[in-house]
Amino acid sequence: MCGIVGIVHNNQRDFQQNILHMNDIQAHRGPDASGVEKLTGAILGHTRLSIVDIASGHQPMSCNSNKLFITFNGEIYGYKEIKKGLDYPFKTNSDTEVLIALYKQYGSKMLSKLSGMFAFAIWDDQERTLFLARDRFGEKPLYYGFTDDGDFIFASEIKAIIASKLLTPKVSGKAIGHYLQRLYIDPLETIYENIHALAPGSFLTYNDGRLEINRYFNYPITQDISLADATEIFQDKFDKSVQRQLIADVDVGAFLSGGLDSSTVVAIAQKYNQNLKTFSFGFEGTMSELSYAKEIANRYGTDHHELLADKVDIADL
């Protein structure tokens, strides 16, 4: 998990302190490093949790010609295979650089080639164009709005936009009504009428005051299929999905409850990572899943860690 922030502006004001405040409020998303890139007409920020290419994956990152700059939150599954098909002089081993190389080669069509969880911003310093994109299912958050002076602003979290002190948040009556009826805020909206969520499977472009949002992913049309064929296809896709998500330059772990879902994930993951670590959490005085989890961990030979608590203070969550 990382944090991304940015401001696109049309004036000579120095937004350095505003971006630093935004980075600071999202420091919990990326405790390993932070960075700021001041550009002509834009400023980007990033807080990093180092997982892939720890040494050279610092962000914001620029392309080889210093015309494109990216701030990225997430993980691109299978990025090493994507990298092989790109004509680009790579300097790092990060999936971040793969994204910027993809954009340089394919533009917005790059999104059809991606699998993963992501929210990223690419600034074209030559065209003065911002490109924002969010993964298919909205696993990674991305919010945007316009400041009181009309500048465009975005961040991984709403509170980072507010922390910039460039935008006066206005509570949405529509969002309150939705909450009172259904006890949650519509995920395609926010509690503020002037701060918006980029919809999952969508991308946004912003240039010279013009904003355009397009959808790049829609759920495929279902087709009739036999149970036997569906089972075979699912097993193959599930296996490949777990395998692709094990790429990391740090230790890989899994939460293991002993139930069917987590046990299946661990069973597949252990085939590709012999050093997998598993973690379980239980409560004293209640029916605990620790014994089941320990049995599964022993079966697959993982390095298992058990965490036990008799109570949890909601204030600590």
What are the tokens at 34? 């932070």
Q: Residue 62: how many CB atoms within 10 A of its CB?
A: 17
Q: What integer best gives the mean pLDDT of the chain?
A: 89
Which amino acid, 114?
L
Among the ranges given (18-32, 135-149, 215-229, 296-310), the one the predictor scored with the smallest mean pLDDT? 296-310
Which pLDDT does position 314 carry in this prediction?
37
Mind telling me the catalytic residues? 2
> Which of 19, 57, 51, 52 shows the shortest CA–CA distance to 36?
19
Average pLDDT on 265-277 reads: 87
Exposed, middle or buried, 289 (CB in 10 Å: 0-12/13-18/19+)?
middle
What is the Rg, in whole angstroms, of the alpha carbon atoms belonging to the chain? 22
Could you tell me where the DSSP H helices lie in 107-172? 158-163
pLDDT-based confidence at 308, cuts 50/70/90?
low
Residues 126 and 59 sit within 8 Å (Cβ to Cβ): no
Which pLDDT does position 181 carry in this prediction?
94
What are the angstrom distances between the C-alpha of 114 and each of 62, 76, 140, 269? 20, 7, 14, 22
Cut 0.75: pTM above it: yes
What are the angstrom distances between the C-alpha of 109 and each of 99, 106, 140, 154, 165? 12, 5, 20, 22, 35
**Is it the case that residue 116 has pLDDT exceeding 90?**
yes
> Which of 268, 284, 287, 286 shows the shortest CA–CA distance to 276?
268
Give the model confidence (pLDDT) of 224-249 as tens digits.
Answer: 889 999 999 999 999 988 888 887 77
pLDDT-based confidence at 294, cuts 50/70/90?
confident
pLDDT-based confidence at 302, cuts 50/70/90?
confident
Average pLDDT on 43-63 reads: 82
Q: Strand pairing partners for 195?
A: 145
Share of the chain above pLDDT 70, in %: 93
Q: How long a stretch of residues is the chain?
A: 317
Q: Which residue, chain included where needed, has tokens 């509570």?
A: 171
> Which of 19, 24, 23, 54 shows the shortest CA–CA distance to 39?
19
Rounded Cα–Cα distance for residues 235 and 242 (Å):
11
**Is it the case that residue 92 has pLDDT exceeding 80?**
yes
What are the tokens at 153? 């602003």
Rounded Cα–Cα distance for residues 35 and 40 (Å):
17
